[in-house]
Homo-oligomer: A and B are copies of this chain.
Amino acid sequence: MALLQVLSQIPTASDIEITHEAIAPMIHRTPIFTNKSINDLCGAELFFKCENLQKIGAFKMRGAASAALRLSDEQRARGLATHSSGNHAQAVALSAQLLGVPAYIVMPDVSPAIKVAATRAYQAEITLCENNQQAREKNLERVVAETGAYFIHPYNDYHVIAGQATAAKELIEDAPVPLDIIIAPVGGGGLLSGTALSTRYFSAGTKVFGAEPKEVDDAWRSFTTKQRQQNSTINTIADGLRTNLGDKTFDIILKEVDAIFTVSEAGIIQAMRLIWERMKLVVEPSGAVPLAAILEHPAVFEGKKTGIIFSGGNVELSQLPF
């Protein structure tokens, strides 16, 4: 029997609460940090939800665990599968390891050796493929056909969205004051849609903003035109945000998010450096995008109690931008 019910529509408050309880043994309840000098610099009161300190170093662990716990014993025993070069790969691999089932991960052959090694360290079976979407999907299909493993989508999935929603739920519960704003980065939209749902349900008076690199502004264009748009390039240092929105995440974002801000590449690097230098925290470029938005749009955040989701901390240290 599955531990969690299958969701066929947008997660409700109760769905997110039940999900949170079920995944609790598989995740860390990450701390909220504050920093006086960054507050002074921004003229705002910031509360940083440290998902860089989450298991596997990113919020992705929440969504993968949530999806894995929907499977029947029989389904789950056949294993979990996905294609990813990044944090989702490690999240699916660790979820499988914790549940004692196999993981099959398709990764592009250009993936940094350190990411392949980290995923393999969770006992996952890695299939390397050419670095394009078609090769990734074809290899995944083959692996799923051969093993019967269950494919966990990185974002466009209500179970994944319900899992990612638990980060903002914790932020709302643990922040010492009610928040005026919560801001999260947006790539495929799993984190932002989950953040928007939790904020609507558990802190109705709080605004929800997304933050995105200008170079891959599909979410901003989709939000503005109310039509799902595609990125034509992936020319950003924020490697976790190169993806386009999915239909499920877009639907929630369009309904529940108040605004999306875009930021420059220089702004991302500056924000990341500020976090490393002042907070002594390793945050990946994608995780620095919301602070970049605050620094580039100061009037919006002036005097506001603002919750920020530091989405992850997985960085190739030999390729830093400073």
The residue of chain B having its C-beta at the shortest distance from the C-beta of A53 within the complex is B280
Q: Which of these, B31, B121, B282, contacts A282 with CB under 8 Å?
A: B282
Nearest B residue to A276 via CB reads B282
Residues A289-322 near B (CB distance < 8 A): 313, 317-318, 320, 322
Q: Which residue of B lies closest to A51 (CB)?
A: B280
Using Cβ atoms and an 8 Å threshold, which residues of chain B touch A283? 280
A114 to B31, CA, bound (A): 28
Cα distance, A317 to B280, chains bound together (Å): 11
Residues of B within 8 A of A282 (CB): 276-277, 280-282
A317–B318 Cα distance when bound, in Å, is 12
Is the interface on chain A under 10, 10 to 19, 20 to 34, or 35 or more residues? 10 to 19
- Picked from B52, B276, B313, B317, the residue with its CB within 8 Å of the CB of A273 is B317
Check if B317 sits within 8 Å of A317, measured CB to CB. Answer: no
CA distance A279 to B199 in the complex (A): 29
> Which residues from chain B contact A57 at a C-beta distance below 8 Å?
280
By a CB distance below 8 angstroms, the chain B residues around A52 are: 280
Other than the given A57-B280, A273-B317, A280-B282, 11 more pairs (CB < 8 A) read A31-B31, A37-B121, A52-B280, A53-B280, A114-B277, A276-B317, A277-B282, A280-B281, A317-B322, A318-B322, A320-B320
CB distance from A53 to the nearest CB of B (A): 6
The 6 closest A-B pairs by CB, nearest first: A280-B313, A280-B282, A52-B280, A317-B322, A276-B282, A318-B322
Instruction: Determine how close the nearest CB of chain B comes to the CB of A283; give it in whole angstroms.
Output: 8
**Bound complex: CA of A31 vs CA of B281, how far in Å?**
13
Minimum CB–CB distance for A54 against chain B, Å: 9
* A291 to B: closest C-beta gap in Å: 16
Q: Which residues of B contact A322 (CB under 8 A)?
A: 317-318
Expressed in whole angstroms, the Cα–Cα distance for A313 and B33 within the complex equals: 16
- Would you mind naming 22 contact pairs between A and B with Cβ atoms under 8 Å apart? A31-B31, A37-B121, A52-B280, A53-B280, A57-B280, A114-B277, A273-B317, A276-B282, A276-B317, A277-B282, A277-B317, A280-B281, A280-B282, A280-B283, A280-B313, A281-B281, A281-B282, A282-B282, A317-B320, A317-B322, A318-B322, A320-B320
